[in-house]
Amino acid sequence: MLKNKKILLIRLSAMGDVVFNIPLANILKKNGATLHWLVSEKGFDIVNNNPCNDKAILAPIEKWKKEKNKFKNFFEYHKLISQLRKEKYDIAIDTQLILKSFIWTIFCGAKRRIVSKSAREGAILGGNEVIEPLFKDFNTHAVENYLKFAKYLNLDTSEIIMTLPDFGENVSKYIDKLFLNLDKNKKILTIAPATTWFNKHWNKDNWKKLISKIDTNKYNLVFVGMKSDNDLIEYINVTNGLNLAGKTNIKELIEVFKRTDILISLDSGSTHLAWATNIPKIISIFCCTPKERYAPIGDKYIALQKCVCAPCHKKKCPKGTNICTMYPEVDDVYQALIKIETL
């Protein structure tokens, strides 16, 4: 249906939403489109050389913010716009739907520019075709929301296809080196205890109690995160598990997840990346955000959310108590670990 059509998919960030757009990209490709994906630094390694698209185009937004050189940034921005216009896209699809994606949408030169009524910051003006609102409730998964663009194009969206790039031998060898002292007779249980929003974090003492209950005769414990997560990991790592915080980039983190048997994590980029590999079983802990919208889809995943006032999906607690960060109870997560072994 899209044969000989060239499409520009505009989804710059964040990591989780880039992952959630992969099924949409795969459906567009499956139906014959030549697909280019405009993405920022945070998602580039997920998109570049991914079978879901033909070309990843980097919009270096983080670099521009850091350098703060308005003249240089404008020149590079204008050059990238010119490159996009030379591609002569038939369709542009903006799934970011805010000001920073609006500019690319309106100036990319595509004949058809598809946005949603959910667009904010004036981004709806970037489109000349507008589909139904996205994210109308907490009960529809993010993937299903983004697939509304495919449905608008009359495409079959019954199959969710998740793909990632092959990062090659060097990445594999690096993780071999990091995992050198792990016991090959034990399963790998990876813990990703940190994310961006404070209200997405599970209480650190809950983590500490959970880790102390885990049988290290059965599991190799591996902790992942950014360098800034080291204090948290050092606090909860009471079993002397392998701490990889700050030692892996996105490519290497994905390789860690490919070798993981079970992941316990939050509503975070780590969870979504691990789900995209289709390898580990995942227990995801949800505090303020809705598990129905963001939890991994499938029968080998468990998502837990117990607080009575959740989900509010607010970065700042409306009640001022941050009570949702205390839930679920430690035993609920531990029992989920026992259960997920049987799935």
pLDDT single digits (tens) 187-238: 999 999 999 899 999 999 999 999 999 999 999 999 999 999 999 999 999 9
pTM above 0.75, yes or no: yes
Q: Which neighbouring-strand residues pair with 6?
A: 34
Least confident of 38-47, 159-168, 311-320: 311-320
Residue 156 phi/psi, 5-degree rounding, is -75, 125
- In tens, the pLDDT along 97-119 reads 999 999 999 999 999 999 999 99
Cα torsion 186, 189, 190, 193: sign: negative
Tell me how crowded residue 296 is: count the other CB atoms within 10 A of its CB.
24
Q: CA 319, 310, 97, 198 torsion: positive or negative?
A: positive
Contact 280, 274 (CB under 8 A): yes
Of the candidate CATH numbers 3.30.70.260, 3.40.50.980, 3.40.50.2000, 3.40.630.10, the domain formed by 170-340 belongs to 3.40.50.2000
For residue 120, give Cα distances in angstroms to 97, 256, 342: 6, 36, 44
Using CA atoms, how far apart are residues 52 and 8, in angstroms rounded to an integer? Answer: 13
Taking the domains of the chain in order of start, what are their residue ranges?
A: 6-152, 170-340
In tens, the pLDDT along 269-322 reads 999 999 999 999 999 999 999 999 999 999 999 999 999 899 999 999 999 999
Q: 6-152 has which CATH code?
A: 3.40.50.2000
